[in-house]
Amino acid sequence: MLGLRDKTSLPFGGAFVNDDTSPLSWVCKQSSKAPSTTTTSTTTDSTQQGEAWVLHGKASWSATHQDDQPEKVAAELTSAFKKLVASMGQAPNTLLTSSEVDKVLSLVVTPAIHAHLWRYAIATPPLNVGYMWDPERGVGVCGDWCNGSKVEGAFMSGYLLAKAML
C-alpha cells in the first residue's frame, strides 16, 4: 500500500503492468474500488486527504523476494510505481504532461507505505473447472482458484455455481 498526500491526475484507477522489467503486475487506486463497510487499518491519516494505491508484485518477483524485509520490498515496488508514472510522460504514448508526472512523484508519503506478502494469493496452477458442485449432497465450492486466479475468475466461479444450483 502506497500513500500519496494529495489526489493525483492519473488517468486510470487500476492497470495491469505489462513491462517485463518491472516487478509490478497490477496497480490499483484504493478509492476506485467499491466502498467497504469495514474500516481497514492500512489507511493512515496521511492518505485520507490523498490517495492510497495497492501495488501488486509479479508472482515470480514476489517468490524471489519473499524473505526480504517489508521495507525493502516496499521501496522496490514504490520505485517501480514511480518509473511507471514517469513513463506516462514519455512518447509515444504520452498520458501526462511532465509537470503532472512531477506532481504525482512528489506526493509519495514515505511513512504511509506498507508491504505485506500474500503468499497464497494466486493458485498455481488454478483448477480451471469453474466450480465444483455435488447436487446429491447440495454442496458446492467456488473461488478464483477454480477459475483462473483473478477476481474476474472468482466472480464467474460464484456466478456459475449459483446458476448450477438453480
Read off the pLDDT of residues 25-60 as tens digits, 9 standing for 90 and up: 999 998 776 665 554 544 443 445 788 999 999 988
Residue 156, amino acid: M
Phi-psi region for residue 52, left (φ > 0), alpha (ψ -120 to 50) or beta?
A: beta
Residue pair 93/59 in contact (Cβ under 8 Å)? The answer is no
Residue among 126, 134, 135, 136 at smallest CA distance from 156: 126
- Cell, residue 119: 503468499
Helix (H, G, I), strand (E, B) or coil at 117: coil
* CA atoms in the 13 A half-sphere facing the CB of 127: 13
Check whether 13 has a pLDDT greater than 50: yes
pLDDT at 42: 46
Amino acid sitting at position 32: S
CA distance 122 to 154: 11
Claim: this prediction has a pTM higher than 0.75? no
Confidence of residue 73 (pLDDT cuts 50, 70, 90): very high
Distance CA 154, CA 162 (A): 12
Instruction: Tell me how far apart the alpha carbons of residues 76 and 56 are, in angstroms, rounded to a whole number.
Output: 11
The confidence score (pLDDT) of residue 136 equals 95
Q: Sign of the C-alpha dihedral, residues 155, 17, 110, 90?
A: negative
Least Cα distance to 54 among 99, 121, 106 occurs for: 121
- Whether the pLDDT of residue 23 is over 90: the answer is yes
Average pLDDT over residues 15-34: 88
The Cα 47–Cα 166 span in angstroms is 44
Per-residue confidence (pLDDT) for residue 142, from 0 to 100: 94
Q: How far apart are the first and last CA of the chain?
A: 40
